[in-house]
Chains A and B, each alone.
Chain A
């Protein structure tokens, strides 16, 4: 037993000589598995590209990238445990945050305790970053950066739209973004005629939708994940609900939503933190947005979405920070991350003093002809807003 422990300790320290280990706790099974697998694809793509180029170079020496995965089974307490285990037993050098705002916040306590720089790829809620932590960074801007531009576009381009109905999945991110939507709608002079939450795992929305329909909203705003939104959208069609504007977050950013919803996805608007149609000329390992999309398609035969892109970005940012620090010293790498101010394939990256990115302009888009068309920001706009969702 003692011998085995010694051996494994030797083995890992021997490995640590020319390899940099990144810990990635992910929900690879359980309800969040689809999201967890997407994040894994992003990390893997980055690791593959980094290793193909010889690895990460520190003072002229190349270090291979190794990602240590652990499945926390969509269970937040286990995500915290896993993160600690990675630091204390798996000897990882740096950490990626677990999926979503809730788990990322919970696990950030651990990385702060051990002073391990951590980048969270899918945590947007500002509550994650207001803890005064020094070692946590995040690549999603706060939720209001999605709803504010959306509200302004509708206000200026659809002046007849006055009444908004909001339906939110009763879950951390979907509810937070619905609340931001309510705020920005009110601030821009819309009347919020309906605001309700539905429980996780709801199998039927017919009563809710009937009630919403009776209020005659012109803008229907619904949050949830792909399964919820596919179901709600189908039941809207079933009940012959029509509105000039229908917005759904976060389904339409995924190719599979567009494929599975088919005709009913037409003219649905949405917003996300990144979009494959963006055209940034980055200084990271992926370079341009189009190069990232090309590499992703070659490896996975599908269109990348913002989750996969953000995961790949987290890796690319660590690589830059490590190379700039010229060392694996956690303190130095942390300082380099805090200092970053550069353009990447994902967009401009600069972290605020709380660690959350504050340089991105998240795109607003609409499904037109079974393709997402970017409406905002102006610089990458691809088309005009179309009214009428039937």
Chain B
């Protein structure tokens, strides 16, 4: 029964990791920007959920409706006004810019919200469901389902919508896309906005699960990074695969060789992947 519990835990955690990573993967895959502000967007999303629950008792799943457009606008503007200016520069330049933006946003959050840890506690609590002896917390199930739904939405946007096809086209061949009449700058801004919206939504969902503090942003960013390397860039399903693999390695590692080594194990796996399979589990060139 312990084995079943550990596997279920990993499955649910894997979807949370995918949820954390999906926006990061999109931006990295399409724009070739390693967006270091991603972790802070997630934390900001958590604060939004926390604030709306504390003040107006709005449960986080409704907050998603507000968070998605708000973060989209924030991301869109950031790309339009700042990142687009350096987007063609070497990757180190965009990395430095997002690093600086992250410092600003993160310290602004420390200033306004303090570094104290907060917790969004639903009352009444939504508890856990159990099947035989296997227990799954309902809030994690909600977050998992929402993560899968967001992933599906992103997949459909990229597949079916005109703007989605344009994003994929820009990723595949920037110059050809320009010749086809695609407004590349605006596509970049839309892709970054989508990435930010996904991060904000992830933050809203994570507020149910993790303590909230600006200091956790680097942990989220670290997980997103590992998930992308493991799963591979360039596909929606890559984030999901990477998240599941990471959670499985951590969970089984914790239960067998002890929690102190779980992180070591996951980073060892990261190195192995970088050497043996740098494109990740499901990596491919375009973003499908």
Contact = CB atoms under 8 A, between A and B. Distances in A.
Best-buried of A31, A211, A262 by chain B (most CB within 10 Å): A211
Interface in A157-188: 167, 170
B2 A196 contact: no
B263 to A, nearest CB: 4
A210 B5 CA distance: 7
Given A34-B116, A261-B119, A208 B254 contact: yes
Dominant secondary structure of chain B at its interface with chain A: helix
B252 interface: yes
A260 to B, nearest CB: 4
B116 to A, nearest CB: 5
B137 interface: yes
Interface stretch (A18-26, A93-101, A125-133, A225-233): A225-233
Given A230-B119, A260-B119, A260-B211, A207 B10 contact: yes
B45 interface: no
A31 B215 contact: yes
A34 B115 CA distance: 6
B262 interface: yes
A201 interface: yes
Contact of A239 (B1, B121, B135, B213): B135
Interface string B1-36: 110011001101100000000000000000000000
Given A202-B263, A204-B250, A207-B9, A227 B213 contact: yes
A31 B251 CA distance: 25
B150 to A, nearest CB: 19
A303 B274 CA distance: 50
A214 B2 contact: yes
B255 interface: yes
B55 interface: no
A204 B128 contact: no
A197 B209 CA distance: 22
B223 interface: yes
A31 B218 CA distance: 10
A262 B211 CA distance: 13
Contact of B260 (A29, A199, A204, A230): A199
A261 B121 CA distance: 8
Contacts of B185: none
Nearest to A30: B215
B109 to A, nearest CB: 12
A33 B262 CA distance: 27
A210 B118 CA distance: 25
B240 to A, nearest CB: 17
Interface in B122-161: 123, 125, 128, 130, 135, 137, 139-140
Given A207-B250, A210-B2, A196 B260 contact: yes
B38 to A, nearest CB: 15
B210 interface: yes
A202 B255 CA distance: 14
Given A206-B13, A230-B211, A260-B117, A170 B260 contact: yes
Interface in A7-39: 29, 31, 33-34, 37
A237 B139 CA distance: 12
A203 B224 CA distance: 12
B115 to A, nearest CB: 5
A204 B9 CA distance: 10
Interface string B187-224: 00000000000000000000001110101100100110
B157 to A, nearest CB: 28
Nearest 7 A/B pairs, CB to CB: A238-B137, A206-B9, A207-B254, A260-B119, A197-B260, A207-B251, A198-B259
Interface of B: 1-2, 5-6, 9-10, 12-13, 107, 110, 114-119, 121, 123, 125, 128, 130, 135, 137, 139-140, 209-211, 213, 215-216, 219, 222-223, 247, 250-255, 258-260, 262-264
Interface of A: 29, 31, 33-34, 37, 167, 170, 196-199, 201-208, 210-211, 214, 226-227, 230-231, 234-235, 237-240, 256, 260-263
